[in-house]
Amino acid sequence: MAQKLTTRGIPEGFLTRTLGRVTFHPVNGPERSDFFLGIPRQSALAPDVDLTGYAGILIETGAKHAISDAIKPVIRYDDISFIREGYILGIEPGTGQTRILYRPESGNNTIFSTGRCNSNCLMCSQPPVVVNDDGIVNEHLRLIALINDAPASIGITGGEPTLLGDGLVAILSALKEKFPNTHVQMLTNGRLYAYKDLVSKIGSVGHPDFTSAIPLYSDIAANHDYVVQAQGAFDQTIRGLYNAAEHGLGIEIRIVLHKQTLPRLPQLAEFIYRNLPFVDHIALMGLENMGYVKANWNLLWIDPVDYVGTLEDVVKYFFYRRMHVSIYNLQLCVLPPKLWAFARQSISDYKNIYLPECTKCDLMNRCGGLFLSSEARHSRGIKALRADLSSEAGAETFGAV
Amino acid sequence: MAFMTFFPPSHYGYGEPQDYKLLPFRFDRRKNGDYLLTNEAGEFYILSPADFDALTSHRLIPGSEQYFDLKAKHFLFDGESSALLDLLAAKYRTKKSFLEGFTKLHIFVTSLRCNQSCPYCQVSRQGEEADRGVFDMSAEVLRRSVELMLQSPAPHVTMEFQGGEPLVNFDLVKNGVLLAKELNQSRGKQIDYVICTNLSLLNDEHLEFCRAHKILISTSLDGPEYLHNKNRPTERGKPSYDVVVRNVRRAQEALGKESVSALMTTTNESLNYPTEIVDEYLRLNLGSIFVRELNPFGFAVKTAASVGYTTEEFLDFYKRILDYVIKINKSGRTFSESYASMVLAKILTPWPLGFVDLQSPSGAGIGVALYNYDGNVYASDESRMLAEVGDYTFRLGNVLENSYEELFFGETMQTIAAASCNEALAGCSDCAYQPYCGADPVRNYRSQGDIFGNRAVNNGYCRKNMAIIKHLLDLVIGGDDDLQRIFWAWINHDDVNRMGLPV
């Protein structure tokens, strides 16, 4: 279910951007400086508790706890009810802009490596920014240091993570060192993998469970370059994929399905099988109505119910060839039942919703639902499915579900 | 601060006019007049005569579907992407990577003696009671042969026992396997073991040893009782069918169904019974059939008049078997024809296939070596059959006299290698089916007196393989989804019922 990830407070005494782990219980000892102590409206803290030495004190409006002016830094919020024990926050000193960087209970934690990117994809959901983010690598290393229990998986996203160069290598090394059993998936356009020294450095980190998820949008170079709005990107990505394979990196190919990628999707599938048969997984992904997609809607949008025939052919193509293939971001009701086994619950929890219609659906628990951003604009095929055999979708096969 | 300016496709040259070059490809006319194009990496494409003419005269329209398809499949190159040429090289390298590691199949003829007397026998056999001292492999030859096998750079080798009939002297099989395991301890190769046997002498000791050492059984079953007995009588003219059937079942029970396979040799009598032969295999619960034609080797030439047939007759028979096998799969039972499975893998996958009868460079010496009972080493099974009728052309040397280097890089091997690439053989080099086919210098020599062979006149290898490859390509191109599903089940060695999308 969708979850709020950012808020803003009124800060006092923060000298620099500060990261810390939230607790609602006083902490003793030197590790106190790793913590933000939260004082909610219904605080049960003893009145004389020592508040010195924390990374910061988070105060919710209405909290009765008296705080001496000497206690710094503090930040006051209207509402911290969505912030829980163990969350890791990053707080901007001037603006009080606060972002949840890590939630222990979530399977979708990601390190937002950088806002910068060397591509400018037509359908980017997280458009790149031009920013000097020197020092961001240290923040990521600090975040990793603050995580307590090993997560099952963690993502690295952006922007384009490989722009961090050696910084990325340091992040991967830190993850391997601290959480060797945590699966790491990095979303990258793979273009800088064309440079062998970078791939070789990443390879020599020797992370036991690291996958690079790399998009490839066409078997025709100019078509791919157009979609990612970068001349020469296809060549770099292709060379990058080969370099990654040579260094034993796990590889997933990602294909976002839209008007510019669907016309040659079957040919792209064949191109991948014939030229890149070593990839571990192929993800066929529905469009997220975020970022540039809103602006490029007419250039991109095809209702999934109008392309499921092509999708079925392509899934079958990979399935016959024993290549692992998944469908991301599409709802069971827009897919023919024979594709349901390939549909994954792929939408990150904080932006995942179900529509009112979905609550009437017997398959809601199995379905990945929708993006928060698709609330108003989504496939015309969304409809509740019923487990009784009179339901039109999947009448023949539903019994096997 | 995003970059909300987007450039149109033309900015990236998408569909813009381009000069293009043709990359190497071969072609053939199909029955309906269309052109079939194939490239070095084994990818294929169909063009109408008008489009083919446009392609070759550099008038194909950039931005047309054919243009993009031909570009993505590496039939033309327009300079837009330099990575594409590297891809073609990588694909070609992958297809030929069965060469990595050199010789993988090592055949041991531990005894020339046999208790059966098949009229088509491909080797000069000796009677079961013939002199063991002369016709069985000595301990010294066995040891030296195993050493040579382990000297092969291949990390994964197959040790295959042939005859004669290996079970007439099982101790040699046993000693060979145990010796290979012992000497391999320091090398750490993966070794698969296969015994090619008529199964008539099979006993519990054999089965126990095969089970303990995970040895596969390859036997011969020519069809129903009448046919099998006619094709494969015992020395004393007695029928052999009952004992084979009984022992196939016994072996399946002891070793598992997957550990027992069979091949059938086609005689002119077989031609009348395509469906009955397959039914016999199904009845015995065998997962596949390997349909083999008579080879012009060994005794077979002498008896060609009584058991032989024309290539066309064989092809007609083969297609009837294949049709029937496809029908069986359509009805939900998984059963494959091994030759077709291998050709299909060559056509439909980017992967290499080491199949010594159908590869380029040819299997002789490069993919297979044969250690004969007398210590002579041959480039293939067929090379040793020639020797048994007095022609030692393809003898690489002797295990007791020659080193590994002398055997595998000597003059004989060099001569064979020079004629082993169909890319460089007249009649093959411009053949559309070349990427899926092979070369067979030994057979060329035997049937045409020239290791290079002549494809223009009555070359059985060429006619048979071209026809089968063409037939399978026609099925692949024209086949419905059901046929694709069946073919992929064969290629994947999977259950045909599990191939469809799961529901």
Task: Report domain extents, chain A.
Answer: 6-99, 109-328
Is the pLDDT assigned to residue A396 strictly greater than 60? Answer: no
A65 CA to chain B: closest CA distance, Å? 41
Q: What is the pLDDT of residues A205-233, one digit of tens each?
A: 999 999 999 999 999 999 999 999 999 99
Question: What contacts B390, CB < 8 A, 6 or more positions away?
Answer: none
**pLDDT band at residue B13 using 50, 70 and 90 as cut-offs:** confident
Cβ separation A275–B7 shorter than 8 A = no
Query: Cβ contacts (< 8 Å) between B69 and chain A: which residues?
Result: 267
Q: Model confidence over A61-86: pLDDT tens digits? A: 998 888 888 888 999 999 999 999 99
Name chain A contacts of B476, Cβ cutoff 8 Å: none
Q: How far is B62 from chain A (nearest CA, A)?
A: 12
- Report which DSSP code applies to A138: H
A 260-279 residues with CB below 8 A of B? 264, 267, 270-271, 273-275, 277
Work out the minimum CA distance from B235 to partner chain A, whole angstroms: 48
| Rounded Cα–Cα distance for residues A303 and A298 (Å) | 11
Give contacts of A242 with chain B, Cβ < 8 Å.
86, 90
Q: Which fold has domain A109-328?
A: TIM Barrel (3.20.20)
Q: What are phi and psi of B27, to 5 degrees?
A: -150, 165
Report the Cα A236 to chain-centroid distance in Å. 24
* Strands A210-215 and A281-285, bridge-based pairing: unpaired
For B47-67, b where at least 16 C-beta lie within 10 A, e where not — what string? beeebbebbeeeebebeeebb
> Which of B76, B92, B503 has the highest number of chain A CBs within 10 A, making it the mutation to test binding with A?
B503
Give the pLDDT score at B237.
80
Q: Using one digit for the tens of pLDDT, what is the confidence trace for B258-297?
A: 999 999 999 999 999 999 999 999 999 999 999 999 876 5
Q: Which residues lie below 8 Å from residue B213, measured CB to CB, with a gap of 6+?
A: B177, B181, B193
Model pLDDT for residues A323-374, shown as the tens digit of each residue:
999 999 999 999 999 999 999 999 998 899 999 999 999 999 999 999 999 8
Q: How far away is chain A from the Cα of B60, in angstroms, using its nearest Cα?
A: 16
Q: Which residue of A has its CA nearest to B73?
A: A271
∠ CA(A43), CA(A49), CA(A52), 5° rounding? Answer: 110
Structure confidence at residue B205 (pLDDT) = 97
Residues with Cβ within 8 Å of B88's Cβ and at least 6 positions away in sequence, in order, are B23, B39, B40, B41, B74
Task: Give buried/exposed letters for B253-288 (b at 16+ CB in 10 A, else e).
Answer: ebbeeebbbbbbbbbbbbeebbeebbebbeebebbb
Compute φ and ψ for A38, nearest 5 degrees. Answer: -90, 130
3-class DSSP assignment, residue A297 = helix
Task: Say yes or no to pLDDT of A376 above 90.
Answer: no
What is the pLDDT averaged over residues B295-311?
70
| Structure tokens, A145 | 């240091």
Residue percentage of chain B with pLDDT more than 90: 81
Min Cα–Cα distance to chain A from B344, Å: 13
Task: Locate the chain B residue with the closest alpha carbon to A131.
Answer: B1
Q: How confident is the model at residue A400 (pLDDT cuts 50, 70, 90)?
A: very low
- Quote the minimal CA–CA distance from A126 to chain B in Å: 9
DSSP state of A381: T
C-alpha to C-alpha distances, B318 to B213, B278, B314, B396, B441, nearest whole angstrom: 35, 11, 6, 34, 24
Quote the CA–CA distance of A73 and A18 in Å, as a whole number: 10
Query: Which chain A residue is nearest to residue B84, measuring alpha carbons?
Result: A235
Query: For residue A159, what is the enclosing H or E element?
Result: none
* Shortest distance, CA B7 to any CA of chain A (angstroms): 7
Among B96, B99, B97, B94, smallest CA distance to B366 is for B99
pLDDT of residue A397: 38
Whether B501 has a pLDDT exceeding 90, the answer reads: no
Residue B200 has pLDDT above 70, yes or no: yes
Q: CB pairs below 8 Å between A and B: how many?
A: 105
* Residue B250 C-alpha from the chain's centroid: 28
Mean pLDDT of B105-125: 86
User: Could you tell me which chain A residue has the CA closest to the CA of B12?
Assistant: A222
Per-residue pLDDT band for B79 (boundaries 50, 70, 90) equals: confident
What average pLDDT does chain B have? Answer: 93
The residue with greater pLDDT, A179 or B130, is A179
In Å, how far are A108, B149, B295, B346, B417 from B422, measured between CA atoms?
54, 27, 20, 15, 11
Chain B residue with CA closest to A273: the answer is: B350
Kindly give the residue spans of alpha helices, DSSP state H, lying in A247-334. 265-275, 292-295, 297-300, 308-320
The structural architecture, per CATH, of the domain B102-406 is Alpha-Beta Barrel (3.20)
Neighbours of A95 (CB within 10 A): 11
pLDDT of B133-180, one tens digit each? 889 999 999 999 999 999 999 999 999 999 889 999 999 999 999 999
> CB contact, 8 Å: A129 with chain B?
yes
User: How many angstroms separate the CA of residue A83 from the nearest CA in chain B?
Assistant: 29
pLDDT value at residue A394: 42
pLDDT (tens digit per residue) in B324-380: 999 999 999 999 999 999 999 999 999 999 899 999 999 998 999 999 999 999 999
Note the pLDDT of residue A398.
Answer: 34
* Cα distance between residue A77 and residue A93, in whole Å: 14
* Type of residue numbered B272: N
Of B11, B69, B481, the CB nearest to A267: B69
Q: Spell out the domain ranges in chain B.
A: 19-95, 102-406
Give A319's contacts in chain B (Cβ within 8 Å). 501
Q: Is A319 on the interface with B (CB under 8 A)?
A: yes
CB B102: neighbour CB atoms within 10 A? 14
Strands (E), B82-155: 105-109, 113-114, 126-127
**Is the confidence at residue B192, as pLDDT, over 70?**
yes
3-state SS, one letter per residue, for B62-78: CCCHHHHHHHHCCCEEC
pLDDT the model gives residue B122? 59
Question: Least CB-CB distance to B68: which of A220, A275, A397?
Answer: A220
- Closest-CA residue of chain B to A225: B12
In contact, A253 and A283? CB cutoff 8 Å: yes
Contact A356/B at CB under 8 A = no
Q: Which residues of chain B neighbour A267 with C-beta distances below 8 Å?
A: 68-69, 72
What is the bridge-based pairing of β-strands B21-22 and B76-77?
Answer: antiparallel
- Owner of token pair 């030495």: A53
Token pair 């070794």: residue: B191
Q: Which chain A residues are within 8 Å of B12, Cβ to Cβ?
A: 222-223, 225-226, 231
Q: Give residue A239's pLDDT band: very low, low, confident or very high (50, 70, 90).
A: very high
* CB of B113 closer than 8 Å to CB of B168: yes
CB-based contact A220 B71, cutoff 8 Å: yes
pLDDT at position A391 over 50: no
pLDDT the model gives residue B123: 65
Of B11, B69, B503, nearest to A337 by CB-CB distance is B503
The whole-angstrom separation of Cα B296 and Cα B314 is 14
Cα–Cα dist A278/A208, whole Å: 18
Model confidence at A56, in pLDDT bands (50, 70, 90)? very high
Q: Do A219 and B499 touch (CB under 8 A)?
A: no
- The residue among B298 and A146 whose pLDDT is bigger is A146
Residues of B in contact with A275 (CB under 8 A): 87, 90-91, 350
The residue with tokens 């909300």 is: B4
Supply the mean pLDDT for chain A: 93
Q: Which of B130, B259, B249 is nearest to B195 (CA)?
A: B259
With the C-alpha atoms ordered B361, B363, B364, B366, is the resulting torsion angle positive or negative?
Answer: positive
Closest to A362 (Cα-Cα) out of A334, A385, A333, A329:
A385
Using CB atoms, pick whichever of A220, A231, A339 lies closest to residue B72.
A220
